[in-house]
């Protein structure tokens, strides 16, 4: 990532840490706000400690988070930081994740679905501009699917309803986002320009393809389950009869499955060519290098979301909130919703991508520096050899 991105990230993390400190102060000092905050889905920490204790811990995390973020900002500017600062940064990241309000995964699912649809629409427009003979039929097919979903499946109120529900969740999204962005900002600031090489970093770089494939594969179970809704034997659903009588539920389920599938495909971009250069059929930007920060920051934010949400999801499954407590039911939910694996794997994949791009940039820079020098050096060597041969020939004639 470039210097501007590396200096902006810790400042953003510091801003989120300050917001967390302010929220915690309000929880301690304003009973009305404390009552409102108590109405949010509880965090993992809220489930095991008193609200007052959780607020005090949140205040400490906010204050220390500001200090750590400013230290990472100084590091991005070229200053050295102590090893103790790194340890504190890890602690702040972990506590921020367990302090984040729960129920983030469902909101993220709808966001992924809308984002996936937006990516498909924008990609189709760019394709139609660059290659009309291909793009226009694709656009027509998408319009046909949209019309079918609207008329035959009752999907007309889907988008307004989803947007309305997301708007209602904005306060919770903002609070949860502060904790997640703080955690992601610290991790991204630690990654920096991707040139750090410890033992763990070298292992991640060496196995980044396998790690990325594992992360992308985590989307397959959920996408497959939602695809079964198109058959007479739907899995993890209300039943074929209910789906037939409530087509809007089917549209929502298929949209969520599509969003998850797109997330898996985008994850593969961390090791495929389209993750380093925009496809050439993208009008305007085709063939250009993808900014390193775009996939790395996006993937890391989703990774910390999945780590926090996955831990909460595992806890809820074990408590029997989604299904009767039992090994079979719990294993099914853990396999179909593998956020517990997807989060860490996606974070490591993003780290490996950043290091790989840094190595490529270093190699290209070294090649560019050697280029202008290599030619004169070769010419000088050739001239020296010819002079030597000429002198040898003259000495023989003499």
DSSP 286: T
**Given CA atoms 297, 300, 305, 308 in this order, what sign does their dihedral have?**
negative
Q: Is 301 left (phi over 0), alpha (psi -120 to 50) or beta?
A: alpha
Assign 23 a pLDDT band (cuts: 50, 70, 90). very high
Spatial CB neighbours of 223, under 8 Å, sequence gap ≥ 6: 257, 258, 260, 261, 264
Q: Token pair of 70, please?
A: 């400013």
CB atoms within 10 A of CB 396: 7
Taking only the tens place, the pLDDT of each residue in 335-366 is: 888 888 999 999 999 999 999 988 887 777 77
Side-chain-side CA neighbours of 19 within 13 Å: the count stands at 17
In angstroms, rounded to a whole number, what is the distance separating the alpha carbons of residues 215 and 344?
8
DSSP 274: G
How many domains does the chain divide into?
A: 1
In angstroms, rounded to a whole number, what is the distance separating the alpha carbons of residues 186 and 92?
9
DSSP 156: T
In angstroms, rounded to a whole number, what is the distance separating the alpha carbons of residues 295 and 219?
17
Residue labelled with tokens 């390193």: 292
In angstroms, rounded to a whole number, what is the distance separating the alpha carbons of residues 212 and 295?
13
pLDDT at 375: 45
pLDDT at 147: 75
Q: Token pair of 346, please?
A: 């996606």
In angstroms, rounded to a whole number, what is the distance separating the alpha carbons of residues 288 and 277?
5
DSSP 34: H
Query: Quick one: which of 195, 191, 189 has its CA closest to 69?
Result: 189
In angstroms, rounded to a whole number, what is the distance separating the alpha carbons of residues 301 and 346?
10
**Given CA atoms 90, 92, 96, 99 in this order, what sign does their dihedral have?**
positive
Assign 398 a pLDDT band (cuts: 50, 70, 90). very low
Which ranges constitute the DSSP H helices of the chain? 3-29, 31-38, 51-76, 83-99, 104-130, 132-151, 158-168, 170-191, 199-206, 208-217, 220-227, 240-245, 247-268, 293-318, 327-336, 339-397
Q: What is the pTM of this model?
A: 0.81
Examine the pLDDT at 224 and tell me if it is beyond 50: yes
Taking only the tens place, the pLDDT of each residue in 29-39 is: 988 888 888 88
> What mean pLDDT value characterizes the chain?
82
Taking only the tens place, the pLDDT of each residue in 169-220 is: 788 888 888 999 999 999 988 887 767 667 888 899 999 999 999 999 999 9
Taking only the tens place, the pLDDT of each residue in 120-151 is: 888 888 888 888 888 888 888 888 877 776 66
**In terms of residue numbers, what domain contains 271?**
3-397
Would you say 185 and 69 are in contact if contact means Cβ atoms under 8 Å apart? yes
- Residue 183: helix, strand or coil by DSSP? helix
């Amino acid at each position: 990532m470039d210097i501007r991105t590396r200096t902006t990230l810790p400042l953003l993390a510091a801003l989120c840490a300050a917001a967390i400190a302010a929220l915690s102060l309000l929880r301690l000092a304003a009973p009305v706000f404390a009552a409102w905050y108590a109405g949010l889905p509880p965090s993992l920490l809220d489930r095991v400690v008193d609200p007052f204790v959780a607020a005090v811990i949140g205040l400490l995390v906010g204050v220390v988070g500001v200090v750590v973020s400013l230290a990472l900002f100084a590091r991005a500017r070229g200053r050295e930081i102590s090893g103790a600062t790194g340890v504190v940064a890890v602690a702040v990241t972990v506590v921020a994740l367990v302090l984040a309000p729960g129920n983030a995964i469902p909101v993220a699912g709808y966001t992924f679905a809308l984002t996936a649809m937006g990516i498909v629409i924008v990609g189709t427009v760019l394709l139609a501009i660059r290659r009309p003979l291909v793009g226009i039929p694709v656009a027509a097919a998408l319009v046909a699917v949209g019309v079918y979903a609207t008329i035959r499946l009752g999907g007309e109120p889907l988008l307004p309803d989803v947007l309305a529900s997301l708007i209602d969740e904005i306060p919770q999204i903002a609070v949860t986002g502060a904790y997640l962005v703080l955690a992601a900002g610290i991790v991204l600031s630690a990654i920096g320009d991707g040139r750090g090489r410890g033992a763990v970093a070298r292992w991640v770089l060496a196995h980044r393809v396998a790690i990325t494939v594992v992360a992308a594969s985590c989307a397959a179970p959920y996408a497959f389950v939602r695809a079964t809704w198109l058959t007479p034997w739907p899995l993890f659903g209300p039943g074929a009869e209910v789906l037939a009588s409530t087509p809007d539920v089917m549209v929502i389920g298929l949209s969520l499955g599509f969003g998850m599938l797109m997330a898996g495909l985008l994850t593969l971009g961390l090791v495929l060519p389209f993750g380093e250069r925009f496809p050439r059929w993208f009008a305007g930007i085709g063939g250009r290098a993808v900014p390193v920060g775009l996939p790395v920051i996006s993937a890391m934010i989703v990774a910390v979301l999945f780590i926090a949400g996955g831990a909460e999801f595992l806890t809820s499954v074990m408590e029997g909130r989604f299904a009767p407590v039992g090994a079979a039911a719990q294993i099914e939910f853990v396999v179909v919703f593998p956020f517990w694996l997807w989060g860490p794997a996606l974070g490591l994949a993003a780290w490996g991508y950043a290091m790989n791009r840094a190595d490529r940039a270093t190699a290209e820079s070294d090649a560019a520096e050697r280029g202008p020098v290599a030619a004169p050096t070769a010419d000088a060597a050739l001239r020296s050899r010819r002079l030597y041969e000429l002198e040898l020939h003259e000495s023989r004639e003499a």
